[in-house]
Structure 1
């Protein structure tokens, strides 16, 4: 439920940061100097020094995503994330906004399906740096949750939800998630009733039990020293609540378990839109899956490579059924989905569904060709620098690594792991994870038959 309160997954591997690019100045083949340690508060720290610009990007993440929403109060995680920064001890909502603006800093917060947190981009020059960090500390550690502001934001959320539920893409996304994840947090959705049920007391309790300093991940990328990073990480988390959480708060269920709990089916939803919205997929990959790179390359060939993908060739180039089509894997704490999608005119719905399914089934059976594999690997390796070319992108990466326990050399080994993928490993991985009899098809608009 990616801050829109309706989405279920964190899309893509890399989180985009602020727009200014503070490029890490090092040779392309140099190891990224990522360090990690445990702060005195118990928080996990991920740090990378980047001296190209006098700036720091820092975020603090918690196991406080929508998967922790109580039944009947879906949207609580998002509401809590949204309320942080709208009031703090001795500071109004406007005071906080003006305080960050006066230092040239950018502050934001929010929640996704697995986690929630806050993020700051600030200059490292003084007095801007100290003022921005002090304000972030106050906002994070001493929030004030105002009932009138919560009521205002709830009304906005309800209005946004009502509008979204008129749109075919929202209807498709929600039906798809429900079918893939029955009786699972990834398959639940906010409703007008659940949003209106959330009280200030609920927000306060969620903050106290989920925004725990000893369970936080603090990620820092920018022009500060290791010593400064150590001090800063502890300052930002030492005053937070402390506690324990049962089990793995980010999940860990693999695709076999989640596929066993659902069934392949076709769901038809009528809608007056001119085009049909078609989704096809199943639960497929958790974060840290050992065959992640095999699946990444395989999907690049099937539907992730734009105009050179098989789905694009079959649906657009050969038949002109759509302008665009795609597929991707979305790794999450529990196995996130493999999803393919297309929009087409209503009278082409049945043909588009047939071609999409046939292309996926053929890929399950035969996998890629050697030529396709070579081209995909070249494209992914050649494009890798664009995934880490700014502080914001690096911050998103190391935050993900910290949250999900990926090794510190994950980015250093990324291109080498792509190189290891073979036709056989790509085919076998895709066939393991994508089962024909478990595919869910959702069609909003035209008729499947």
Structure 2
């Protein structure tokens, strides 16, 4: 059955529940998604949201990390917490027969997380080790540097995992304060699917949600990319040049023209072999093994970005080629053959994007979260099918803001 949205009423709150029944396997998967609760809420403590999610993976205070993990493993129950830029997610998965126990342990975790100094010391040690290793991951370094340029003096300029200094500065009080503010029912969207009845799961979840603090739903701030192109070059001991680039993209998540952006950027840089950037940079000039570009449209920000790796001596040529390809793209648009091939791929590959229950639930959640119809993907595919070359090229020429390219480059 197709996914649908219903609600759980708790006092004066109506908690959305995105649900899809799937009886093909005796499994149940559930996510508690807390809005406006991701790394965008870190303030001056970069990495706070992710570190708080790691703390939710340390079991309950009563059982501790090891015994809680052993209890879950004995029943093949999975509970984990993750964060994005805008959301904090706690996921629960189990076989159908163990879902009641899964909810029991989930309820225990929400009510009594292991917020101890020992647990914090452990997760900070793991995070600091990962960050130390990341200093030699030059894709990671260049990507973070690009965001620091594009979103200067905003929360989006900071790496979501934090820095070594910012993670060291986070204490238990920060974690408790973050969780108290953000793991609340007023921010909650439930996503659940599998071999379970909707009314049954709603009844069980209401018992859990009613114990949660209601808290307050804050307004999600939006941040614009700087309209002044900049360039930062970082010198490292590397045998390659890592070239990351980005620019503003004037679009909101609910814009009717998003399907045109999807088609345009597929032709420009998302489509792999055959895309403009790949053809010019790899096939014609042999400057890089791959080159990629995409449009990122979120509630908190929208921007165009891409990347490639090249030989150090080819760095300037590669950067110049990127600029020229994008300039030509905006000026002249695409050909009928490019549009036809892109339509074939996007329409033909659609079944691969909805093969699994998790894919379908994730898509439905994104539509709901962005304020779009639940069947927006089908609506979008029909629009792509009917899109004319003149419509697409008119749209491309209207988005000259992508020419204001900033670069973050790691080189020798």
- TM-score w.r.t. the length of structure 1 is 0.85
Q: Is the 8 A contact 1:137 1:235 kept in 2?
A: no
> In structure 2, the residue corresponding to 1:412 is in which secondary structure?
helix
1:122 aligns with 2:91: no
> In structure 1, the residue corresponding to 2:243 is in which secondary structure?
strand
Match of 1:221 in 2: 193
Distance 1:136 1:281, change over 3 A: same
> In structure 2, the residue corresponding to 1:217 is in which secondary structure?
strand
**In structure 1, distance between residues paired with 2:403 and 2:267:** 22
What's the CA shift for 1:252? Answer: 4.6
In the alignment, structure 2 segments of 5+ residues that lack a partner are: none
Match of 1:65 in 2: 38
Bigger mean CA offset, 382-391 vs 93-102: 93-102
Q: Is the 8 A contact 1:177 1:187 kept in 2?
A: yes
Q: Is the 8 A contact 1:218 1:233 kept in 2?
A: no
Match of 1:180 in 2: 150
Q: Is the 8 A contact 1:216 1:237 kept in 2?
A: no
Of 226, 229, 254, 1:264 maps to 229
Question: Where do residues 399-418 of structure 1 align in structure 2 (5 Å cutoff)?
Answer: 399-418=365-384
What is the total number of aligned residue pairs between the two structures?
405
Of 152, 173, 195, 2:122 maps to 152
Match of 1:278 in 2: 243
What's the CA shift for 1:131? Answer: 0.9
Match of 2:389 in 1: 423
1:313 aligns with 2:279: yes
Match of 1:137 in 2: 107
What's the CA shift for 1:286? Answer: 4.0
Q: Is the 8 A contact 1:57 1:120 kept in 2?
A: yes
- TM-score w.r.t. the length of structure 2 is 0.93
Q: Between the two structures, name the one with larger relative contact order (CA 8 Å, sep ≥ 6).
A: 1
**In structure 2, distance between residues paired with 1:135 and 1:385:** 35
1:163 aligns with 2:147: no
1:386 aligns with 2:359: no
Q: Is the 8 A contact 2:5 2:17 kept in 1?
A: yes
Question: Where do residues 222-371 of structure 1 align in structure 2 (5 Å cutoff)?
Answer: 222-247=194-219, 249=220, 251-252=221-222, 258-259=224-225, 261-284=226-249, 285-371=251-337
Match of 2:71 in 1: 99
**In structure 1, distance between residues paired with 2:121 and 2:157:** 26
**In structure 1, distance between residues paired with 2:394 and 2:146:** 25
**In structure 2, distance between residues paired with 1:142 and 1:290:** 44
Match of 2:165 in 1: 193
In the alignment, structure 1 segments of 5+ residues that lack a partner are: 1-31
**In structure 2, distance between residues paired with 1:363 and 1:94:** 56
**In structure 1, distance between residues paired with 2:207 and 2:334:** 51
What's the CA shift for 1:376? Answer: 0.3
Q: Is the 8 A contact 2:61 2:115 kept in 1?
A: no
Distance 1:240 1:301, change over 3 A: same
**In structure 2, distance between residues paired with 1:427 and 1:292:** 14
Q: Summarize deviations over 1:409-435 as a string: whole Å, max 9, x none.
A: 223324213223332333343444452
1:49 aligns with 2:21: yes
Match of 1:5 in 2: none
Q: Summarize deviations over 1:126-158 as a string: whole Å, max 9, x none.
A: xx1211121122213432311111112112212
